[in-house]
């Protein structure tokens, strides 16, 4: 497995990940912005994208999806069902923030499938396991592939995602963090923003948070 981080320069400095199999196929995690840079990286790596996985539905994690699907017709996109409403452009969700995307028209699309805990997705030798981690949004998930967790906006380096937006819940994100801290063994954590970290690095911070806010 080869992981390439593609860092958006402008749109909230979101992290997109290109995860490549030994056979040259790949999946994308959270292509949030600057699709031209993502496409250029795919071409440079000489890989074929097979699916897009979204950790949640906020605009800074999905903003390049439509351009990628135009470039690669038939490329399926998956998200947790609870976050589909964030892809439908309802103003009450504030989800897509289309003023940050070049096209000022409503930026909406329908996922092709759902990410469900207990159901795995595969690309060649790569197996992606899903953990439901609500709190930042109702449908936030963490994606496990080998010893790596793509944590979206659930867990950052010594921090977690905000819970004051539509669908957010501090009690739920606390429980999600508790589950992550209880994992056996260590994992590399590649978040939706900022530097990568690890579960071992975050256990103490999570314990302190849960002690402060039981």
Quote the mean pLDDT of the chain. Answer: 92
Residue labelled with tokens 């402008």: 10
pTM: 0.94
Given pLDDT bands bounded at 50, 70 and 90, which one contains residue 13? confident
pLDDT recorded at residue 170: 98
Residues 6 or more apart whose Cβ sits within 8 Å of residue 84: 57, 110, 111, 139
Q: Residues 181, 183, 187, 189: is their CA dihedral positive or negative?
A: negative
CATH code of the domain containing 79: 3.60.15.10
Instruction: Give the count of domains, the chain.
Output: 1
Pairing state between β 148-152 and 25-29 = unpaired
pLDDT recorded at residue 19: 98
Q: Could you report the per-residue pLDDT of 37-96, keeping only the tens digit for each?
A: 999 999 999 999 999 999 999 988 999 999 999 999 999 999 999 999 998 865 545 444
CA distances from 172 to 107, 136, 140, 152 (A): 28, 8, 10, 15
Given pLDDT bands bounded at 50, 70 and 90, which one contains residue 36? very high
C-alpha closest to that of 154 among 121, 189, 118: 189
pLDDT recorded at residue 8: 85
99 versus 195: which is more confidently predicted? 195
Residue numbers of the domain that contains 17: 2-212
């Amino acid at each position: 497995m080869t992981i390439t981080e593609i860092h958006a320069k402008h749109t909230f400095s979101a992290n997109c990940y290109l995860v490549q199999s030994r056979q040259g196929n790949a999946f994308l995690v959270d292509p949030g912005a600057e699709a031209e840079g993502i496409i250029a990286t795919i071409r440079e790596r000489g890989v074929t994208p097979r699916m897009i996985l979204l950790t949640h539905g906020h605009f800074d994690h999905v903003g390049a999806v439509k351009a990628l699907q135009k470039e690669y017709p038939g490329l399926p996109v998956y998200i947790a069902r609870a976050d589909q409403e964030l892809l439908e452009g309802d103003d009450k969700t504030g989800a897509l923030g289309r003023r940050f995307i070049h096209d000022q028209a409503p930026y909406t699309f329908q996922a092709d499938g759902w990410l469900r805990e207990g159901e795995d997705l595969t690309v060649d030798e790569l197996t992606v396991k899903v953990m439901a981690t609500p709190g930042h949004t109702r449908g936030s998930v963490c994606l496990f592939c080998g010893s790596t967790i793509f944590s979206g906006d659930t867990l950052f380096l010594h921090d977690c995602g905000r819970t004051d937006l539509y669908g957010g819940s501090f009690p739920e994100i606390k429980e999600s963090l508790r589950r992550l801290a209880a994992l056996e063994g260590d994992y590399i954590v590649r978040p939706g923003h900022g530097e990568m970290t690890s579960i071992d690095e975050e256990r103490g911070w999570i314990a302190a948070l849960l002690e402060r806010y039981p």
